[in-house]
Amino acid sequence: MKINNIIVKVFTLLVLLATTIGCDDEAFLNEEPKTFYTTNNIFSSDTQLDQVIITMYSRLRNFELTNAQIQGVGTDVLDVPEFRISNTFSDYSKINAESSNFRNVYDFYYELIATANTALSAIEEEGISFESEDKKAYLIAQARFFRGYAHGMLGELFGGVPIVTEVAKEPRFDYVRSTREETYGFAIDELEAIVDDLPETTTQGGRLVKGVAQHYLSEFYLALGIETSNESAYDQAIKYASDVIDGGTYSLMTERFGARVDEENTVTGGADVWWDLFRNGNINYSDGNRESIWTFQVDFDAYIQEDGQSVINYPRYFAPVYRAIEGFDGVGDDAGGRGVAFYAPSPLTQDILWDESVSAGDQRNAEHNISRKIFYNDPVNYPELAGQQVPQDVIDETNEGRGWIFPIFYKLNTDKFDGLDQGENRSNIFRDKYALRLPETILLRAEAYHRKGENQLAANDINLIRSRAQCDILATADDIDIDYILDERARELFVEESRWNTLLRMGGTVATDRIKEYALHPHVALTLNFDYNLWPIPQSAIDRNKDVKMEQNPGWNR
């Protein structure tokens, strides 16, 4: 009651003031706020501008760690188990231009572009204090990288999209789609403009270096060559990839190294350089890892204190549900943690890639890297079984209709979980994540060589990777085709590469052919009854662009 009386009195006073002054008094109506911030006056130093740049790193990290489609769900390498079919991204009776999966990716990259444009606009404002011209150049280089990178990603996934280079001052409804060639061209121009302003290496974990821009220049030139059939684009892809591969900064790790160099997998026994590549403390170039080009930073202390997204939830999302097996107890290290099997490997990544006729001796398939053996571990209730290996027929029976038992990929997991004494429950790991690793650049160059018809050079590149993995069988020129390259990418880069980008930039029916061939579930082939090589432009983007008609990509007007 007392509060209501005060409100009435204040309202009465305002009415009296308005009556006294008069509503036609412009001086009264024109506001002059003392602390109204815009991009024209909010920044005064390079330190403040750097916070905008850091925001882009953080958002991209979070997106890459949590977006299922970017990780490859619904492609030839990854889907969901049977009991999670309702969450799948491979039932084409349900997938259309209105699906949030497409909208979330499309909107994310344009939000990244908007932030980059904000930073670039602010950098050029008067009154900004820069520590040095080099610092200013590096800020510009990072912002333009993110802007070019985002356009390139959109081009690979959606084709030609609107190119946006300015901060929107007011709502626009008249964006025009560029061609896919123009979109790739813009991304290339952005990266070429700044590549020399990026450092060769940096002590700041996760910051952009020259090799990152060179890698994506190779990728976007390769994509441009596929789109235009222009061989000179393949030459440029080879040139930029070679700058990374042969430049002296990076090299494949061929010997054991790092924080656990004298240890083995505590669950399975055994270890090798491939296992070392994915251990905590080994991910960054500054850790002595010479094939690490770019990483996303993840830190347990930051997670506990303030950054709830500084975490990799792979043990939860990618690990199987061994506790469903009668005689197996718990969610310990031997189960790969507290797995709930949100995702499951396809037949390709679980078995086909590792056939002895192709992959004999491959370290990447060693038991300590992909663990396929399960051992009963409940001596209290099942003393007669404890320590014995679970037979395949028991696994098949447990899997029937569910699909929640599959191998543990230790590149996505650990045998030593952090934070158990601080409330963690083996759902997460806390190590940095690769954004780019040298083998991906090598495989780009191999693909460019193949598309030029130089298959022996392509085989030589692929054999750099296969030799490091101790494969008994090396590639020959006759082996090389797009499927062979995609298979090798899946062996080396499972859940590292953005598999949808890789498949869709191939053009033709590569994506749909492989998705149907290696599908985890029968409904994929039954519902994927049309070909496509681009994701649809989200219907929401088409609808809100009311002043200019935005065409939908082929195959999605259904």
Residues 6+ apart with CB under 8 A from 534: 157, 158, 159, 504, 553, 554
What is the spatial distance between Cα 316 and Cα 405, in angstroms, rounded to a whole number?
14
Residues 6+ apart with CB under 8 A from 33: none
Torsional class of 555: left (φ above 0), alpha (ψ -120 to 50), beta (otherwise): left
Question: What's the farthest any 2 CA atoms get from each other in the chain?
Answer: 94
Give φ, ψ of 189 to 5 degrees: -60, -40
Rounded to an integer, the average pLDDT of 430-447 is 98
Per-residue pLDDT of 195-217, as tens digits, reads 999 999 999 999 999 999 999 99
Rounded to an integer, the average pLDDT of 333-351 is 97
* SS (HEC) of 88-134: CCCCCCCCCCCCHHHHHHHHHHHHHHHHHHHHHHHHCCCCCECCCHH
What pLDDT sits at residue 403?
97
Which top CATH class is 49-197+538-544?
mainly alpha
State the chain's mean pLDDT as an integer.
93
Helices 46-66 + 100-123 axis angle, to 10 = 170
What is the spatial distance between Cα 179 and Cα 506, in angstroms, rounded to a whole number?
16
Instruction: Please name the amino acid found at residue 118.
Output: T
Per-residue pLDDT of 269-328, as tens digits, reads 999 999 999 999 999 999 999 999 999 999 999 999 988 999 999 999 999 999 999 999
What is the spatial distance between Cα 518 and Cα 55, in angstroms, rounded to a whole number?
38
Neighbouring-strand partners of residue 515:
none
CA dihedral 88, 89, 91, 97 (to 10 degrees): 140
Closest CA to 450 of 482, 418, 497: 482
Rounded to an integer, the average pLDDT of 331-353 is 97
What is the spatial distance between Cα 257 and Cα 521, in angstroms, rounded to a whole number?
40
Closest CA to 62 of 70, 73, 53, 50: 70
| % of the chain exceeding 90 in pLDDT | 90
- Write out the two tokens for 395: 């696994």
DSSP symbols for 236-287: HHHHHHHHHHSSSS-----S--STTTT---TTT----HHHHTTSTT-SSGGG
What pLDDT sits at residue 306?
84
Rounded to an integer, the average pLDDT of 248-258 is 98
What pLDDT sits at residue 40?
57
Residue 17: C-alpha distances to residues 6, 8, 10 (Å)? 17, 14, 11
**Are the CB atoms for 374 and 395 separated by under 8 Å?**
yes
What is the spatial distance between Cα 294 and Cα 250, in angstroms, rounded to a whole number?
11
**What is the enclosing helix (H) or strand (E) of 195?**
none
What is the spatial distance between Cα 191 and Cα 210, in angstroms, rounded to a whole number?
10
Q: Where are the domains positioned within the chain?
A: 49-197+538-544, 274-289+298-431
Q: Please tell me the least confidently modeled range out of 123-127, 477-481, 505-509.
A: 123-127
- Write out the two tokens for 534: 């681009």
| DSSP-derived 3-state class of residue 389 | strand
